[in-house]
Amino acid sequence: MKLIKQLAMLFGLAGFFILIDIFLFNIFTSRYIDRRSAEMKGQSIEVSKFLPFDEGSQLFHADSEIKIDENIPVLDGAAALLPVFSSVAEALYPEESILFDGNEYADGSSLRYTNTRGSYKALVDGDADIIFCAKPSEEQLQYAKDAGKEFVMVPVGYEAFVFIVGKDNPVTDLSAEEIRGIYTGKYTNWSQLGGEDAPIDAVQRNKGSGSQTTFLGFMGDEKPVKKLYGTLFGKAIGFSFRYYVDGINKNPDVKMLSVGGYYPDAENIANGNYPLSSCFYAIYLKDNENPNIQSVIDFCLSEKGQEIVEKSGYIPL
Amino acid sequence: MKDKVFYRVLGIVTCLGILSMLLLLAFTVYLYKDCSIISYIANRG
């Protein structure tokens, strides 16, 4: 009898830990697993796939009659815009000015890639001359101000800021006010918005990222809040740029929402019907005296430059 | 089973249980660092 009790305790204890692990896996671990196939993961931004002067590159290859051989402005920018500014570099710069060590761009290269936060810092610190990004965050503007620098922002193309949900979520359209209501806690259950009875997990990104900055601009004076219950058990809504969702990082298990009745397709973005379309910019410092900065900007706004924007998956001006 | 053996086995099962939880949490943190907002929403439905 004693042995049976002892075995029951041991198996009970082991079962307890197994149940805890299953609970932890289902509630936390499983939500962070990237379930895309290896082929789809390969569509994510990898610098080596967008190398200028590389035959196997996925870049759109544009020609330019203008070539910049000296005082070459260093280009940098956001991940999603790498195909654009890499293509611009290929069109304007000599091949030997772009230094890639197999994993990343080397010191002294006229093309760099440090993503949104890194490139804004590089611009202010003088490590980059022109960056391709969405609007700067308050912190990035303050960083420039503290350094006595001022940004000049030139719109180069249109992109749409999109809200995304799981593909099985029956909600397909929300108004801008409803979305703000989700993030301020006014709406906490999808059933309040025509969906199923499930808490809303309103996801945000890390501070300083391009999409988080755009999101905070979208929220205006309204402060987003985080609901723990929705985080643990809810169905999610989040945001990104259209190019990430529908282009390089396409995931069939998410869908973009229409906003105010307009779906973020190329037509609705170009004609302005989709309310959350916004520009992305070529940004440089006002006191940068490199004479070729204007040449790069002029090229971006030219027919060839706008063709790069379009062929890279964005909406030209 | 002698008490001494039983408590030793009980201790081992407890240690393995705690270790499995810690490994799972570490794996979760590892996945969290690489997970995009798009993958996260695809997983949550």
DSSP A46-65: -GGGG-TT-TT--S-----S
Residues 6+ apart with CB under 8 A from A271: none
**DSSP 8-state secondary structure symbol assigned to residue A246:** I
Q: Tell me the per-residue pLDDT of A128-186, one tens digit each, with 9 for 90 and over.
A: 999 999 888 888 999 999 999 999 999 999 888 999 999 999 999 999 999 999 999 99
Tell me if B37 and A239 make a contact (CB, 8 A cut-off).
Answer: yes
Judge whether B38 is closer than 8 Å to chain A, CB to CB: yes
Tell me if B32 and A235 make a contact (CB, 8 A cut-off).
Answer: no
Global confidence as pTM: 0.70
Judge whether B23 is closer than 8 Å to chain A, CB to CB: no
Tell me if A203 and B38 make a contact (CB, 8 A cut-off).
Answer: no
Nearest to B24 among A3, A25, A201 (CB): A25
Strands A130-133, A151-166: pairing kind: unpaired
Residue A75 parent element (H or E): strand A75-77
- State ipTM: 0.88
E runs forming strands in A177-272: 200-202, 235-241, 254-256, 258-259
Tell me if A254 and B43 make a contact (CB, 8 A cut-off).
Answer: no
Nearest to B45 among A9, A235, A240 (CB): A235
Q: Tell me the per-residue pLDDT of B1-37, one tens digit each, with 9 for 90 and over.
A: 788 899 999 999 999 999 999 999 999 888 887 777 8
